[in-house]
Amino acid sequence: MKTRQLGTSGLEVSELGFGCMGLSHGYGPATNENEAIALLRKAYDLGVTFFDTAEVYGQGANEQLVGKAFHGVRANVILATKFGFQNGRNTDGLNSRPERIRQVAENSLRYLQTDYIDLFYQHRVDPQVPVEDVAGTVQELIAEGKVRHFGMSEAGGHSIRRAHAVQPVAALQSEYSMFWREPEREILPLLEELGIGFVPFSPLGKGFLTGKMQADTEFDKGDWRNVLPRFSKENRAANQALVDLVTRIAASRNATPAQVALAWLLAQKPWIVPIPGTTNTTRLEENIGGVDLTLREEELATIKQALESINLQGERYPASLADLQGK
């Protein structure tokens, strides 16, 4: 697999990463540990070197999986994790106070079985803590050799600029796909200006862009899509036009909708590195196949024109999850 540079930070990663969250958190029961580790090693064998986790994904359980999977090949992978929630639970509110950042860093180093974190993200901007203090704390961790690069997640432009002035931000991780294009308005131009890489999470629209989800699809009771307005049965039916578009292009290229969705993201900027997640080896292989699909200019133009005419229905998050939205 080819590699990409995340902005001008010097951080080089595989052009497709792996989002580890779903192995432990968010989409129903956790994957069996041995199966999860085998899947992560399979991704590595197929060329993926960039793996994304976080304290909040099972209160360290996900980080421990990643640590076990790559203990023997640590020098060959880029491990990203995150801080920013009180007690490691997103239900307990935000906490990016310097002492909490340091506590999470120490926990993550232990869970990941490593002596350095390649990319340490602030998971969400904490309005109670000046972002300069956050960036300064990570800067200290970098000076101590415990962290190599600073990242932010779902941050707004003002916060990014303020943090970047203290400690250069290597990468921003936020949701971006054909299903959620809000970053195109302000964030992508800002990242290009500042030389910051972009790591889209949910690049397949939380599964919607795979074409395998129908209006009547039932989610596991532990699946957080049950509370997301955009995934109500009515909105899934209304947004089917987007899936139909991707499916048509996929059929013309002997590809899958998921591969088209990933190829579209990769075509947007050379410093964009999507991190699709899966618990399934077949889906993993399918996703990796997306890096071999280069969309033609006319196909990209067709997609652009269609996206401008499709009015997607449903909010990304309910009001009760307002702290998950960028500020």
pTM of the entire predicted model: 0.94
d(CA 231, CA 181): 16
Q: Per-residue pLDDT for 277 more than 60?
A: yes
pLDDT of residue 327: 38
Once rounded to an integer, what is the mean pLDDT over residues 311-320? 80
Confidence of residue 321 (pLDDT cuts 50, 70, 90): low
Confidence of residue 326 (pLDDT cuts 50, 70, 90): very low
Domains of the chain listed by start with CATH number: 3-206+265-293 (3.20.20.100)
pLDDT tens digits, one per residue of 121-146:
999 999 999 999 999 999 999 999 99
Once rounded to an integer, what is the mean pLDDT over residues 280-307? 95
Across the chain, what does the average pLDDT equal? 93
pLDDT tens digits, one per residue of 211-227:
888 777 888 888 878 88
Question: What is the CA angle 287-293-294, rounded to 5?
Answer: 140
pLDDT of residue 229: 77
**Residues labelled as active-site residues:** 57
